[in-house]
């Protein structure tokens, strides 16, 4: 078989580890051939390719980003997009696709599968918000980066008797905030799943100051005050209808400073959470996903995504993975709440 591989949406550490595993096992065990599609769905749409063989994947396991490039191109938003993809795949002799992505990229894969394109999905995203898998790769790395930042912020906050508000990514799911906040011993953790009461946050801050510690607040970029709106960076939507989030940390630091009379600073971790080398956990998960994805392709098990269930890699229908977002359940947040204040 000749198999196309693409990476779409926001990049994350571990993408290259998947590509390597798919190609190494695909060539070495099954004798398949590969073609790399550049920049997500833009690749098959515009016929943008690059060679992808064992030589091209040497040494990429620890490297962040993606050797294939990425984009948020949505072929369903482009006139004749699906027909162009089908035509390009046929002309290039590409029999099947491995699509590595999050809800948007795999949402496209789900619809293309229904339209007869042979595709297998691999779940990636630092947000960890995909259904039908316990974890996505990239998440563990992002949490560790945020945790290390929080550890560092504790010492500078204490030296200056300040509150530090740390804004982390995750879009409409609070997984990165919850895990990094727990690991970093945050004073309060605020998630998109639960609108927060500003007065309560201020109470937690005051109580932390009373014990001579400086409060560290971890806020997810999608968190919303109970009385107020989600803070966004401009109103423009991307091709999948997402608005750019960001700014809640700065808003919250301002409110805390005003209400406590003590200095507060906001630190936005932003894309540092997505860059650089993957953790061991993410390298192993991404590699296992890649090995199992190429098995699914070899067996012609189309329309499936590989996922993690406990410690096992399983196959699930793509449609199950993208039907709804996996957000933080109430009970998990309740566990963390015991430590606030």
8 contributes a contact to ligand F6P by CB under 6 A: no
x/- track of binding to ligand F6P for residues 74-113 (CB under 6 A)? ----------------------------x-----------
CA 192 to chain centre: 15
Q: Which residues pair with 220 in a beta bridge?
A: 168
Residue closest to 270 by CA, chosen among 231, 221, 328: 221
- Element spanning 148, H or E: helix 139-160
Shortest spacing between CB 231 and ligand F6P, in angstroms? 12
As a whole number of angstroms, the distance between CA 51 and CA 87 comes to 20
CA 23 to chain centre: 23
Shortest spacing between CB 170 and ligand F6P, in angstroms? 5
What is the 3-state composition of the chain as percent helix, strand, coil, each rounded to the nearest 5? 40, 20, 40
Q: Phi first, then psi: what are they for 299, rounded to 5°?
A: -85, -5
171 contributes a contact to ligand F6P by CB under 6 A: yes
As a whole number of angstroms, the distance between CA 138 and CA 127 comes to 8
Q: Which of residues 113 and 221 has its CB atom nearest to ligand F6P in the complex?
A: 221
Q: Rule CB under 6 A: choose which of 125, 133, 187, 287 binds ligand F6P.
A: 125
x/- track of binding to ligand F6P for residues 191-210 (CB under 6 A)? --------------------
x/- track of binding to ligand F6P for residues 271-310 (CB under 6 A)? ---x------------------------------------
149 contributes a contact to ligand F6P by CB under 6 A: no
Q: Rule CB under 6 A: choose which of 39, 127, 140, 193 binds ligand F6P.
A: 127
3-state secondary structure of 176: helix
Strands 188-190 and 216-220: what pairing? Answer: parallel
Strands 119-123 and 96-101: what pairing? Answer: parallel
As a whole number of angstroms, the distance between CA 266 and CA 114 comes to 45
Q: Which of residues 103 and 113 has its CB atom nearest to ligand F6P in the complex?
A: 103
Instruction: Determine the interface stretch with ligand F6P among 31-39, 79-87, 124-132, 318-326 (rule: CB under 6 A).
Output: 124-132
Residue closest to 62 by CA, chosen among 290, 280, 273: 280
3-state secondary structure of 70: coil
The count of chain residues that interact with ligand F6P, using the rule CB under 6 A, is: 11
295 has catalytic annotation: no
Shortest spacing between CB 259 and ligand F6P, in angstroms? 28
126 contributes a contact to ligand F6P by CB under 6 A: yes
220 contributes a contact to ligand F6P by CB under 6 A: no
Instruction: Write out 303-338 in H/E/C secondary structure.
Output: CEEEEEECCEEEEEEHHHHHCCCCCCCHHHHHHHHC
3-state secondary structure of 10: coil
Q: What does 241-257 look like in DSSP terms, one character per residue?
A: SPEEE--HHHHHHHHHH
10 contributes a contact to ligand F6P by CB under 6 A: yes
Q: Rule CB under 6 A: choose which of 35, 117, 147, 245 binds ligand F6P.
A: 245
Shortest spacing between CB 145 and ligand F6P, in angstroms? 12
13 contributes a contact to ligand F6P by CB under 6 A: no
Shortest spacing between CB 122 and ligand F6P, in angstroms? 15
128 contributes a contact to ligand F6P by CB under 6 A: no
169 contributes a contact to ligand F6P by CB under 6 A: yes
Q: Which of residues 35 and 224 has its CB atom nearest to ligand F6P in the complex?
A: 224
User: Which of the residues are catalytic?
Assistant: 127
Binding residues vs ligand F6P (CB under 6 A)? 10, 102, 125-127, 169-171, 221, 245, 274
């Amino acid at each position: 078989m000749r198999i196309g591989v693409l990476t779409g949406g926001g990049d994350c550490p571990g993408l290259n580890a998947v590509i390597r595993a798919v190609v190494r096992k695909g060539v070495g065990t099954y004798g398949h051939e590969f073609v790399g599609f550049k920049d997500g769905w833009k690749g098959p749409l515009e016929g943008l390719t690059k060679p992808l063989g064992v030589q091209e994947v040497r040494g990429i396991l620890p490297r962040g980003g993606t050797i294939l490039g990425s984009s948020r191109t949505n072929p369903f938003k482009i006139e004749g997009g699906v027909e162009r993809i089908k035509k390009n795949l046929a002309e290039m002799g590409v029999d099947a696709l491995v699509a590595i992505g999050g809800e948007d990229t795999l949402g496209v894969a789900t619809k293309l599968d229904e339209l007869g394109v042979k595709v297998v999905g691999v779940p990636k995203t630092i947000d960890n918000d995909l259904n039908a898998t316990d974890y996505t790769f990239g998440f563990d790395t992002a949490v560790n980066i945020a945790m290390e930042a929080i550890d560092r912020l504790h010492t500078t906050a204490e030296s200056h008797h300040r509150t530090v508000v740390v804004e982390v990514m995750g879009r409409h799911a609070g997984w990165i905030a919850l895990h990094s906040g727990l690991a970093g011993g945050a004073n309060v953790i605020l998630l998109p799943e639960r609108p927060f009461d500003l007065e309560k946050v201020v109470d937690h801050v005051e109580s932390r100051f009373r014990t001579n510690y400086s409060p560290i607040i971890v806020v997810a970029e999608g968190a919303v005050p109970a009385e107020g709106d989600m803070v966004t960076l401009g109103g423009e939507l991307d091709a999948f209808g997402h608005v750019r989030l960001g700014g809640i940390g700065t808003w919250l630091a301002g409110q805390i400073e005003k209400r406590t009379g003590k200095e507060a600073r906001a630190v936005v971790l932003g894309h540092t959470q997505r860059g650089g080398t993957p953790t061991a956990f993410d390298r192993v998960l991404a590699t296992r996903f890649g090995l199992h994805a190429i098995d699914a392709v070899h067996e012609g098990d189309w329309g499936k995504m590989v996922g993690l269930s406990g410690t096992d890699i399983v196959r699930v229908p793509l449609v199950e993975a993208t039907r709804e977002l996996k957000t933080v359940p109430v009970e998990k947040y309740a566990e963390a709440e015991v430590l606030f204040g």
